[in-house]
Amino acid sequence: MSRLARLGLSGEELEKLAAQLDVIVAAVASLSAADISEVEATAQVGELRNVTRADVPAPGLSAEEALSNAAAQSAGFLRVPAIQ
């Protein structure tokens, strides 16, 4: 699971985290006692619907601004280690 989360945890860290998560998950399992038959899930509160915008382009960031925080760049591109 931590691999999916891309956290690079060491073995020792994983063990400690797993133990803590077990406790949390056990506590959270109390959720299963709730009676949720016939209940809709709420992904967002507020009943907003159909919030859209018109298809009009507007200026964004310059290339310099876009790359201003990137640690590694090359000829205007962002640079990352190769995808294998």
Partner 1 sequence: MTLLEEPIRALARRLRARELSAVELAQEALGRIRALDPAIGAYLRLTPELALEAAARADQALARDPAGASPLCGIPVAYKDVLCTRGVETTAASQILRGFVPPYSATVVERLERLGVVPLGKLNCDEFAMGSSNENSSYQTTRNPWDAGRVPGGSSGGSAAAVAARIACATLGSDTGGSVRLPASFCGVVGVKPTYGRVSRYGLIPFASSLDQIGPLTKTVEDSALVLTAIAGRDPRDSTSVEAPVEGILGQLGAGVKGLRLGIPKEYLKVGIDPSVRSVFDQAAATLERLGAELVEVTLPTTEFALSAYYVIAPAEVSSNLARMDGVRFGPGFEGDTSLREAYDSARHRGFGEEVRRRVTLGTYALSSGYYDAFYLRAQKVRTLVARDFERAFTEVDAIISPTAPTAAFELGERTGDPLAMYATDILTLPANLAGISGISVPAGFAAGLPVGLQVLGPYLGEATCFRVAQSMEEEAKVWRQLPPLSRVTA
Partner 2 sequence: MSAAGESAWEAVIGLEVHAQLLTRSKMFCSCRADYLGLPPNSNTCPVCLGLPGSLPVINAEGVRLTMRTALALNCEIPDFTKFDRKNYFYPDLPKGYQISQYDLPLSRAGWLEFEVEGRTVRAGITRVHLEEDTGTLHHSGEIQHAAFSLVDLNRAGVPLMEIVGEPDLRSPAEARAYLATLRQLLVYIGVNDGNMEEGSLRCDANISLRPPGQEELGVKVEIKNMNSFRSVQRALDFELLRQAEVLDQGGRLIQETRGWSELEQRTVSQRTKEEAQEYRYFPEPDLPPLLISRAEVEMVRSQLPELPAARRARFQSQYQLAEAQARLLTGRPGDSAYFEVVVGAGVPPQLAANWQLGDLQGLCNAANLEVGESLVKASALAELLKMVDAQEITTRVAKEVLAQVFEAGGSPAELVQSRGLSQLSDPDQIASLVDQVLPRQAKAAADYQAGNDRALAALVGAVMGLSKGRANPEVVNRLLRERLPRSGG
What does the binding site for partner 1 look like in residue numbers (CB under 8 A)? Answer: 1-2, 4-9, 13, 17, 20-21, 23-25, 27-34, 36, 39-46, 48, 51, 53, 61, 65-72, 78, 80-84
Q: How far is the CB of 34 from partner 1 (least distance, A)?
A: 5
DSSP per-residue codes, 15-46 = HHHHHHHHHHHHHHGGGGGS--TT----SSSS
Number of residues in the chain: 84
Q: Rounded distance, CA 41 to CA 65, Å?
A: 40
What are the residues binding partner 2 (CB under 8 A)?
Answer: 3-4, 6, 43-44, 46, 48-58, 60-63, 66-67, 74-84
